[in-house]
Amino acid sequence: AIGKAPSAEAEQEWSMTLSELWDLEMGEYEGSPVAIDVKMTEEAEAEARRWYAAHTEERNRENFMPGLIGPWSKMRAYFFRIALVLYYLSKIQKETKETKVDLLAIKRASILMDYFKSHARTVYTRLYHRKDDRLAERAITWVKEREGRRCTARDLMRASFVKKASEAADLIKDLVDRGWGKVEKEEVGPNKQEVRYFVFRGGELEF
């Protein structure tokens, strides 16, 4: 039942599980502990690639909600971290004898990511949009329609999103902080003048 405290047996089993996770050994290099590489089985890798491709396609849709670009980008890493945790949990619980991250862990991670996505959509849709949220979403929609999907601070001023250079710089920083793109530098003209561009991260993501 909701709100019911876990049984003593469940608490004991969970405590033992955490202890076994804590006791997992790291690698060693020249006497110092180092991370170890954990591979996936062929089936697990194929399923992970399928999930990653579908996630990438979803994120790159033209009508994708701008507010979700940042969270969706972070979920690429979360997926594999969660799969790794689930693999070791199933290994400690004797659900698998596999020495590599298996298909079960990947499928379970996919289910959890769908759960997190559904809640993220609900929360971001219902959140109150502040003035800077609306400005950022209008700006990113405008950038996505430009050639090369990029702009300078001056471009933002010319398009009347902001009036001052400092405001344009702040807006670009905000777009980057939201995970919607990055700043790239380019030398233009005969004098090789350096120009800073905000570039929308809308290209296809690689596995």
Higher pLDDT, 137 or 110: 110
Read off the pLDDT of residues 162-203 as tens digits, 9 standing for 90 and up: 999 999 999 999 999 888 889 999 888 888 889 999 999 864
Higher pLDDT, 137 or 172: 172
State residue 33 phi and psi, 5-degree precision: -70, 140
Instruction: Please report the pLDDT score of residue 129 as a whole number.
Output: 62
Instruction: Please report the pLDDT score of residue 43 as a whole number.
Output: 97
- In which band, very low, low, confident or very high, does the pLDDT at 49 lie, cut at 50, 70 and 90? very high
State residue 178 phi and psi, 5-degree precision: -80, -5
Q: What is the pTM of this model?
A: 0.64
Structural contact between residues 199 and 182, judged by C-beta atoms closer than 8 angstroms: yes
Which run of H or E residues covers position 184? strand 181-188
Structural contact between residues 151 and 143, judged by C-beta atoms closer than 8 angstroms: yes
Read off the pLDDT of residues 71-96 as tens digits, 9 standing for 90 and up: 888 898 999 999 999 999 999 989 98
